[in-house]
């Protein structure tokens, strides 16, 4: 998988494109190659060991077994922003083509890095087209990776701030740390109930500080009114909106008190 500022909207890159980039010494600060090879345990193959024997020149190994939420009992759950940023900071470093690379592509996009592409056909196709492999490891220069994912909350401002009650029992108002409030009625004409024109919708997102060039998540109380935000974004041409369907009802129940931001009493420690 390659990362290139010029390939921001490019989901796939061809082996020839990447080979030309390698030959012209473009692999560097603005282009990184990451090998995300992974195999099911029953296949008894070691992707890291295979990487050390041969890989695309200039590539580093991205271990999806390491860059994940290790507190979960399930495999390959998305890590937190901090865990992902920490893994990337410390990253010094194929029978199914690009089998696991799309997971890494998706993960980068979740955390706000849109200049990421999958090598079409993966390492298998790279070799089939006659491009070279190497056992030499090219250690990339250390750089800080800032993970960022925007969350937009559709609830009323009072509930978001924590000063008006939630409609559900045993749930106090407040919001997820770092989230942005866009109450869902703001997308509708107050008289007719019609959806506002696209230009007005775009202005609302801009005023709220939502970057429409990046993926973002929407939430509300139980995953219903959040879809107003998703629809408005879709009408504006943004197709990468994700819904947190557990929403505030789940977050308040499961989150630690310090992760419930409120001007009211918030969540009390047990």
Backbone angles phi, psi at 220, to 5 degrees: -165, -135
Residues 6 or more apart whose CB falls under 8 angstroms from that of 253 comprise: 170, 171
Query: Is the distance from CB of 113 to CB of 146 less than 8 angstroms?
Result: no
119 beta partners = 13
Residue 118 in tokens: 């999958």
Residue 114: CA atoms inside 13 Å, Cβ hemisphere, count?
12
| CA proximity to 122, closest of 208, 188, 62, 198 | 62
According to DSSP, the β-strands at 2-4 and 241-243 are unpaired
Active-site position among 67, 68, 95, 220: 220
Task: Tell me, yes or no, if 67 is annotated catalytic.
Answer: no
Backbone angles phi, psi at 30, to 5 degrees: -100, 0
| CA proximity to 18, closest of 28, 9, 27 | 27
Residue 194 in tokens: 């019609």
What is the rounded CA–CA span in Å between residue 141 and residue 248? 40
Q: Which residues of 42-56 are buried (b: 16+ CB within 10 A; e: fewer)?
A: eeeeebeebbeeebb
Which residues are known catalytic residues? 220
């Amino acid at each position: 998988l390659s990362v290139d500022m010029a390939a921001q909207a490019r989901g796939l890159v061809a082996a020839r494109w990447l080979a030309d980039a390698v030959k012209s010494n473009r692999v560097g600060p603005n282009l990184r190659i990451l090998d995300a090879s992974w195999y099911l345990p029953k296949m008894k193959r070691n992707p890291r060991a295979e990487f050390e024997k041969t890989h695309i020149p200039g590539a580093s190994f991205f271990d999806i077994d390491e860059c994940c939420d290790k507190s979960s009992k399930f495999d390959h759950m998305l890590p937190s922003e901090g865990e992902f940023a920490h893994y990337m900071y410390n990253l010094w470093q194929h029978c199914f083509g690009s089998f696991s690379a799309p997971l890494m592509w998706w993960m980068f996009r979740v955390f706000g890095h849109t200049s990421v592409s999958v090598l079409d056909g993966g390492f298998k196709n790279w070799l089939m087209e006659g491009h070279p492999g190497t056992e030499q490891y090219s250690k990339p220069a250390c750089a800080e990776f800032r993970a960022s994912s925007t969350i937009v909350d559709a609830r009323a401002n009072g509930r978001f701030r924590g000063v008006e009650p939630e409609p559900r029992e045993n749930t106090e108002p407040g919001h997820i740390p770092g989230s942005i409030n866009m109450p869902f009625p703001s997308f509708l004409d107050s008289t007719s109930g019609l959806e506002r024109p696209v230009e007005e919708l775009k202005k609302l997102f801009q005023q709220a500080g939502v970057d429409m060039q990046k993926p973002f998540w929407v939430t509300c109380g139980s995953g219903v009114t959040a879809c107003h935000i998703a629809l408005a974004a879709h009408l504006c041409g943004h197709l990468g909106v994700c819904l947190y369907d557990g929403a505030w009802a789940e977050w308040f129940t499961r989150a630690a008190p310090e992760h419930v931001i409120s001007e009211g009493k918030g969540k009390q420690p047990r």
